[in-house]
A and B are shown apart, each in its own frame.
Chain A
Amino acid sequence: MRNNYIIRHFFLVVLSVFLCTSSFAQKAKKDKVRLKANYVKIMNNEIYFDIQASAKVDRKNVPVSKVELVIFNVLGDEQLELGKITTNMDGEARFTLKNLNSIKPDSTNTYNIEISFDGNESFKRASKSLSFKNANIDAKLVTIDSINYVTATLVNKFTDSIIAGQSLKVVVQRLFKPLVIKEFNETDEDGTILVPIPEGIPGVNGNLTIEVVLNDSDEFGTVKALVNAPVGTHIVDESTFDQRTMWSPRNRTPLFLLIFPNILIFGIWGLIIYLIANLFKITKS
């Protein structure tokens, strides 16, 4: 009787140890995911969150690809799901908002966003909070004494008050990396900057797209305003993108390469079909 009691308890202990260690082993294998998120608002254009998921695996930072992230709008204790997004091969994802009216601020007019990852067999669950206020940049091109300037005013949208003492960056959009005109331009007591545009910057048909950027502000996130400025040095777009060239896609094959080889192909195959028809003629005659 006593032996049975000991054996029963012994098996229970072994089973518990096995279950505990196996579940611990499973958990130990999981890595921690780090989420980074930036809020970006482009004036009169799109608003989005740039998200990056990474993890430290074997002491190396690796992107966490193909994982589903859920984006919430946090209002006190309440969480409103805005949508889901999956990271790409570089562990990156971009979640675009229709507009700011689709999310709600809290009582301090701060928008609170939470990005959540539920975890999977390789990674633990993780989340990232993001808070920002709504700011606008009103930028335009002005000419003073034949010199072209870009002027911009930074405004707190909710209080409708200007924001002084913030640094704005002025750049020209380029294909790979923006061309910086001036890195640090602090807004004055009117919340405004005035930056001269140097002469001689080349642009297709003389057009430049100038960006005024409030970069990664703790309070307002990243806000950009785009100004079209036809003040660049005139260059002609020599792109052959829409032309029929040897390097175009198949729907823009040069005409001579469509006509001549096809005449050859149809001519030769016409003769081949005629020869095959002759085989039938031989059979029937």
Chain B
Amino acid sequence: MKNYDTLLTDLAPSKFERKGVIWTGFLLLVVIIGAIAYIEELIEGQITTNMRDYALWGIYISNFVFFVATSFVGSATVAILRLTKNTWRTPIVRIAEIICVASIIMAGITIMLDMGRPDRLLNLFIHGRMQSPITWDVIIIPTFMVASILLLFFPLIPDFAILKNHFKDKKPTWSKWYGILSLNWTGSKKQIKIQQKSIKLIALLILPLGLILQTIDAWLFSTTYRVGWDSTDMGPYFISGALVAGLGALIVVVFVVRKVYKLENYITDFHFDKLGKFLALACLLYLYFNINEYLIPAYTPPKAEEIHLKMLFTGAYSILFWIVLIVGLIIPIIVMLFKKGRKPKAMFYLGLVVVLGSWWKRFLIVTPTLLHPFLPIQGVPESWHHYFPSLGEWLVTFGTLAMALLIITLLIRFLPIIPIQRTADEQEELEQNKNTKS
């Protein structure tokens, strides 16, 4: 058993080393460049983007869908693993909650970046029609944001109290802040009861909320009568895709955190093996829905659908389409079927590939469809029939991605990445069980 002091030494937030500072500075720089590009867009209007009458949703919406998908990791790991009583989740659960919070915050911001007139955002609430899936989206995103912050915060309360005492002499300012956040936690029976009850409730709540969020996101597309979107399959297709994106991101962050903070004793090969199996299952599910999404329409395609599928299978987007499907989905499944493929380093690369594949997959869902409306738009320049993001769009998008990573980095910097109290309790329980047996 590790004693409490060792746990605190290992898991209490500690100062960034040089690499950490450089990384944070780099992210900050990308965010600032993105913000400048966005200010220019705000002043000049969306003419600075390459979005036109055809591609009226561009990279921003792809990016938004990616963030929404990634935020599903909170529901997946906390709720699903908790409800299925998978105790191995303990060291990774907080990282999942942090990714969830960062992703949903950035999803909310990204959708505002896509608005031509963000100053009219309030109108979505004032004049929103319940018939519109956009209104549902406007309601569910802040709801999920609040729920995911609560999901992160409740289990942190005892840890804040521990950190308050831990930093009392070393860093009094930190201690003061942790004290405020610990909400006068003394570990009394009443407090534990309320906290446990709340965690149980939020864990139960976050699953349907996550499913609703992903489904609404899918319905934004499927309720729009467009080739490639007009599908009843979209809800589960998006949920399984979100599971893939979220788990991929989780694996990547877990690997980096484990390496940087030297947490090999807490996050072991066993955890990567489990995560690998979980990701393989998610990828298989997603592959199944992909087959449904593309094979069935390809079997009996109406004319418009045929043009769209041809564009994906053999046309302008075919290289990207097959790379995303084969490299981003099929190869990871095959590799993860083998035990060696579920080792930490392999999992890191697979996670990275899966995340990149997930991001481009959203681009493939949004853009090719928009370029083929049922009624072609008359009298527009030829260039409007194609879409590739402008430099400004790329900078803004990289800015949002960097912002998400910055939120994750800062939360990792100031929060205990592995629950201290829970790990201590589990180790104590393990020790007691050993003693009882002997």
Q: List the interface of chain A (C-beta within 8 A of B).
A: 246-250, 253-254, 257-258, 261, 264-265, 268-269, 271-272, 274-276, 278-279, 281-285
B residues near A, CB below 8 A? 127-131, 136, 139, 143, 146-147, 150, 153-154, 157, 183-185, 188, 190-191, 194-195, 197-198, 201-202, 205, 209, 212
Interchain CB contact (< 8 A) of B205 among A249, A258, A268, A284? A268
Interchain Cβ contacts under 8 Å between A and B, 23 examples: A246-B131, A247-B131, A250-B127, A250-B129, A250-B130, A253-B129, A253-B130, A254-B131, A257-B130, A261-B136, A261-B139, A265-B143, A268-B143, A268-B147, A268-B209, A271-B205, A274-B201, A275-B150, A278-B195, A282-B184, A282-B185, A282-B191, A284-B184
A285 and B205 contacting across the interface, CB-CB below 8 Å: no
A279: B residues at CB distance < 8 A: 153, 183
Known: A249-B129, A278-B198. 10 other contacts (CB 8 A): A253-B131, A254-B131, A261-B136, A268-B205, A269-B143, A271-B201, A272-B150, A275-B198, A282-B185, A285-B188
Shortest C-beta distance, A174 to chain B (Å), equals: 24
Is B147 a contact partner of A272 (Cβ separation < 8 A)? yes
B178 to chain A, nearest CB (A): 14
Cβ of A97 to closest chain B Cβ, rounded Å = 37
Residues of A within 8 Å of B194, CB to CB, are 278, 281-282, 285
3 nearest A-B pairs in the assembled complex, by CB-CB distance: A283-B183, A250-B129, A285-B190
A249 to B139 CA separation, bound complex (whole angstroms): 18
User: Shortest CB–CB separation between residue A280 and chain B, in angstroms?
Assistant: 8
Question: Which chain A residues lie closer than 8 Å to B154 at the CB level?
Answer: 275
- Give the number of residue pairs across the A-B interface with Cβ within 8 Å: 61
* Bound CA–CA A248/B154 (angstroms): 42
A51 to chain B, nearest CB (A): 30
Q: Are B129 and A276 in contact (CB under 8 A)?
A: no
* A256 nearest CB neighbor, chain B only: B130
Contacts of A283 in B (CB 8 A): 183-184
> Which residues on the B side are within 8 Å of A276 (C-beta)?
150
A247 contact set on B, CB distance < 8 A: 131
B191 touches A285 (CB 8 A): yes
Closest Cβ of chain B to A248, distance in Å, is 7
Contacts of A257 in B (CB 8 A): 130-131
Residues of B within 8 A of A282 (CB): 157, 183-185, 191, 194-195
Closest A-chain residue to B223, C-beta based? A246
Query: Who on chain A is nearest to B205 by CB?
Result: A271
Q: How far is the CB of A264 from chain B (nearest CB, A)?
A: 8
Main secondary structure of the interface of A (DSSP, over half): helix
Taken together as a complex, chains A and B put the C-alpha atoms of A283 and B197 apart, in Å, by: 15
Central interface residue in A253, A268, A278, A282, by most chain B CB within 10 Å: A282
Check A258–B130 contact: CB distance below 8 A.
Answer: yes
How far apart are the CA atoms of A22 and B13 in the complex, in Å? 73
Instruction: Provide the residues of chain B in CB contact with A265, threshold 8 Å.
Output: 139, 143
- Write the chain A residue with the least CB distance to B128: A250
Bound CA–CA A274/B129 (angstroms): 28
| Bound CA span A169–B183, Å | 84
Q: Given A279-B183, A282-B157, A285-B191, verify A272-B129 contact (CB < 8 Å).
A: no
Q: How far is the CA of A226 from the CA of B110 in the complex (A)?
A: 56
Chain A neighbourhood of B202, CB < 8 A: 275
Instruction: Tell me which residues across on chain B come within 8 A of A264, comparing CB atoms.
Output: 212
A279 CA to B197 CA, complexed, in Å = 12
CB distance from B218 to the nearest CB of A (A): 16
Q: How far is the CA of A248 from the CA of B132 in the complex (A)?
A: 11
* CB atoms of B150 and A261 under 8 A apart: no
Report how far A269 CA is from B147 CA in the complex, Å: 9
Residue of A nearest to B186 (CB): A285
Contacting residues, chain A, for B153 (C-beta < 8 A): 279
A residues near B197, Cβ cutoff 8 Å: 278
Minimum CB distance partner of B146 in chain A: A272
In Å, the complex CA distance between A276 and B202 comes to 11
Max count, chain A CB within 10 A of own CB: residue among B127, B128, B131, B136: B131
- Give B192's nearest chain A residue, CB to CB: A282
- Report the separation of the CA atoms of residues A284 and B183 in the bound assembly, to the nearest whole angstrom: 8
For residue B184, give the distance in angstroms from its CB to the closest CB of chain A.
Answer: 5
Bound CA–CA A246/B129 (angstroms): 9
B131 proximity list for chain A (CB < 8 A): 246-248, 253-254, 257
Q: Which residues of B contact A246 (CB under 8 A)?
A: 131
Contact of A275 among B127, B188, B201 (CB under 8 A): B201
B126 and chain A: residue at smallest CB distance: A250
Cα A265 to Cα B144 in complex, Å, equals: 11
CB-CB under 8 A from B188, the residues of chain A are: 285
Chain A residue contacts of B130, Cβ below 8 A: 250, 253, 257-258, 261
- Nearest-CB distance from A77 to chain B (Å)? 53
Measured between C-beta atoms, what is the minimum distance from A263 to chain B in Å? Answer: 12
Residue ID in chain B nearest A281 by CB atoms = B194
Nearest A residue to B193 via CB reads A285
Closest-by-CB residue of B relative to A249 is B129
Nearest CB of A to B213, in Å: 11
Shortest distance from the beta carbon of A249 to any chain B beta carbon, whole Å: 7
B363 CB, min distance to chain A CBs, angstroms = 30
Q: Tell me the bound Cα distance from A102 to B134 in angstroms.
A: 52
Residue numbers in B under 8 Å from A284 (CB-CB): 184
